[in-house]
Structure 1
Amino acid sequence: MTQPSDGHGRRPSIYDVARRAGVSHMSVSRVLNGHSKISESTRARVLQAIDDLNYRRSWTAFALATRRARRIGVLIDGPVQNGPNSTLRAIEKAAREVGYAVSAFSIGDDDASQIDSGVMELVTQGVDALCVIAPRESSLDLLRQQTTGLPTIVIKAEADPSWHTVGVDQRMGARLAVQHLIDRGHRTIAHVAGPMDWLDARERAQGWRECLAEAGLPEGPYVVGNWTSDFGFEFGQSFELGETTAVFSANDQIALGVIHGLHRRGVRVPEDVSVVGFDDLPNARHFLPPLTTVRQDFAELGTFALQQLVSAIEGRTAPSHDTIKPRVIVRESTGSVSDRCSE
């Protein structure tokens, strides 16, 4: 929508909004900045005037006035994975909508020590706050040694006394995946885990264990590897099936490799073995067979993280920790044991 002018080709200013609402320009400023000490009737008049004039704040002027860069620094730990990239895109979108920019620094999969140079790089850009996506334990240990004085949020499923945290409940996601398999009659369920330095991998493995224990079932085959389809493929074509009728994979890439490896040796999915992934990649529904998986709402995660950071930057109270619930997306890679036995 084209912004209206005052008849002289000028975009509406805060003073135009004030005149329209019949209040001072300071009252308009308080509304724009979410100040609590302003009456609801005044707030309503200002918001209506903003809507009538299609007023948009000058973020450049605001940055100069507040001495804020209006920029968020994002450290991405292991950016090759779908989850970190999806979360970054969601943060960037949410930031644009409130007039913030994002500077990102990617940490290599094999070098958590880059956290030091990453923090330094972002701080020298004058960012107002930091966000860390998909952390490993080793990178968080290094981050605790930093003293930037900046508001910091970490995307992780569990609370941490050092920072604000927000995350998808990884353990719940794993429990939902395993329960889906148990409900279909599976009693020996393998887990192909991600690397244990990754907090998400730990939580998913723990959820698998807890769900089996609560159902009175023994742990099935368990192997720790990396996040790649190649690792899943090697597992799928080499592990001894025995009584195993289902595999819970720590992410969708691993699941894709598992399905390929099983197919290579003539094991059918889901007729012989059911496979569940985690993440719900955009192309998971096009796997052969389409993949049952755990969906994480990365858009909600990124938006919520950005909201917490902005609240911290502007001195408002923000929750110290919150989680977002995942859900299972059921497709054709899982079946019931009764169907298998009736063949």
Structure 2
Amino acid sequence: MKRPSIYTIAREAGVSTATVSKIVNNHGNISRETSARVLEIIKKHNYVPQQRKQTESAVGVITFHNNRRPLASPFTGRLLNGVCLQCFEEGKDMILIDGDRLATFSPEELYCYYASNSLAGLLICNKAADDPFCLRLRKSGIPFILLANAASGGEVNYVATRNYEAVSELIDYMICLGHRRIAYVGLLNQLLDSHRERLRAFRDMHRKHGIDLRSEFVLDLPDAENATVKNALLRLLARPEPPTALFVGTDECVKLYPLLAEMKIEVPETLSVAGFRMECDEAESGRDYSGIVQPTEQIGRRGVAALLDLAAGRCDHVFELLENAVNFGETVKRTY
């Protein structure tokens, strides 16, 4: 079957080849109606612009702004380091893409962006599978994988970790050490599938041990700024019966330790603390933290390898869960 050309698209859409080129490259002042008609025809014919290198030489990584600091999170930085290393080993470039700019693109516009930039596929950071952006990506037909965020339902590809199992194990340990008042410190708890799974495990472990979980002990913070976290902790610890332990459901548990020290709260003598942390935290601080360590760089590496398999047709789907390491450490003490 003959590969469609720009002339095929222009003829069927009733426009000039210059107009098609402008739409593909997102240049020029073209009406919404004309763009929509041309993009629909492009998608129907699976048209690939001639200027695109057929080698699919790059992996696109879409990340979204985080309070105007898209790379401020140590977790995101380490994740992207793994992506970068694997891309270089595979002979591919890595293109970092502004997700907020693409957030309103239609499926056809997304496909044109993917095709014109010679992308093998996309890796998505910080988006849930049911987010409208991911739903449009599915309609576009572009191969993509969610990183560090497992999707339920078997419709969206992902490389993530076993959040539920790791949280269950650590909370069970804390309860077995006598803690009956454990607070959960989370960040936008319902935003991502991984966050939902962590909170679900926390609640299920309380239910398993017959402990009533107080609603005021579940913190859902809007951001991870120091002022936000400190204010929430001050309110929490001022209660008549404050928690004896904190579980931090975000990936930056170590940020709490200097804040607690500033508040004159000793860990674990006054308050036990555990949560998700980075692989390098212990080496840098010299402290044996209680917590869950995700194989962050490995998530990025596996994401690239799986995406290239998906794009090449070597697999039909990617539902991959890596194991976390649970370290019981020294920051959770026995209460009896």
Q: Give the TM-score, by structure 2 length.
A: 0.70
Alignment partner, residue 46 of structure 2:
none
Question: Is 1:193 matched up with 2:186?
Answer: yes
* Pairwise CA distance, 1:190: 0.5
Q: 1:92 to 1:119 in 2, by over 3 A?
A: farther
Aligned to 2:269, which of 263, 271, 277? 271
* Pairwise CA distance, 1:174: 2.0
1:70 is matched by which residue type in structure 2? S
2:136 is matched by which residue type in structure 1? Q
* Pairwise CA distance, 1:336: 1.2
RCO (CA 8 Å, sep 6+): is it higher in 1 or 2?
A: 2
Aligned to 1:166, which of 159, 167, 183? 159
* Pairwise CA distance, 1:115: 7.1
SS of residue paired to 1:276: strand
Contact (CA 8 Å) 1:107, 1:115: kept in 2 or not?
A: no
Q: 1:222 to 1:184 in 2, by over 3 A?
A: same
Alignment partner, residue 234 of structure 1:
231
Q: 1:307 to 1:289 in 2, by over 3 A?
A: closer
Alignment partner, residue 143 of structure 1:
134
1:69 is matched by which residue type in structure 2? E
Alignment partner, residue 182 of structure 1:
175
Distance 2:91 2:251 in 1: 34
SS of residue paired to 2:314: coil
Question: Is 1:70 matched up with 2:57?
Answer: yes
Alignment partner, residue 256 of structure 1:
255
2:134 is matched by which residue type in structure 1? L
The percentage of counterpart residues that share the same residue type is 16
Q: Can you give the 5+ residue segments of structure 2 that lack an aligned partner in the other structure? A: 1-50
Alignment partner, residue 213 of structure 1:
207
Q: 1:175 to 1:133 in 2, by over 3 A?
A: same
Deviation track 1:165-206 (CA, whole Å, cap 9, x = no partner) reads: 221122223223312312322111100111132333222111
Q: 1:137 to 1:316 in 2, by over 3 A?
A: closer
Q: 1:324 to 1:274 in 2, by over 3 A?
A: same
Deviation track 1:212-237 (CA, whole Å, cap 9, x = no partner) reads: 11122221411110233433222223
Distance 2:157 2:115 in 1: 18
Dislocated runs of 4+, deviation >4 Å: 114-123, 284-290
* Pairwise CA distance, 1:308: 1.4
Aligned to 1:300, which of 266, 273, 298? 298
Q: How does 1:15-164 map to 2 (within 5 A)?
A: 67-77=54-64, 78=66, 79=70, 80-107=72-99, 113=103, 122-136=114-128, 140-146=131-137, 147-155=139-147, 156-164=149-157
> Between Structure 1 and Structure 2, how many residues are aligned?
270
Q: 1:115 to 1:161 in 2, by over 3 A?
A: farther
What's the RMSD between the two structures over aligned residues? 3.0
* Pairwise CA distance, 1:287: 5.4
Distance 1:201 1:271 in 2: 28
Contact (CA 8 Å) 2:128, 2:191: kept in 1 or not?
A: yes
Alignment partner, residue 246 of structure 2:
247
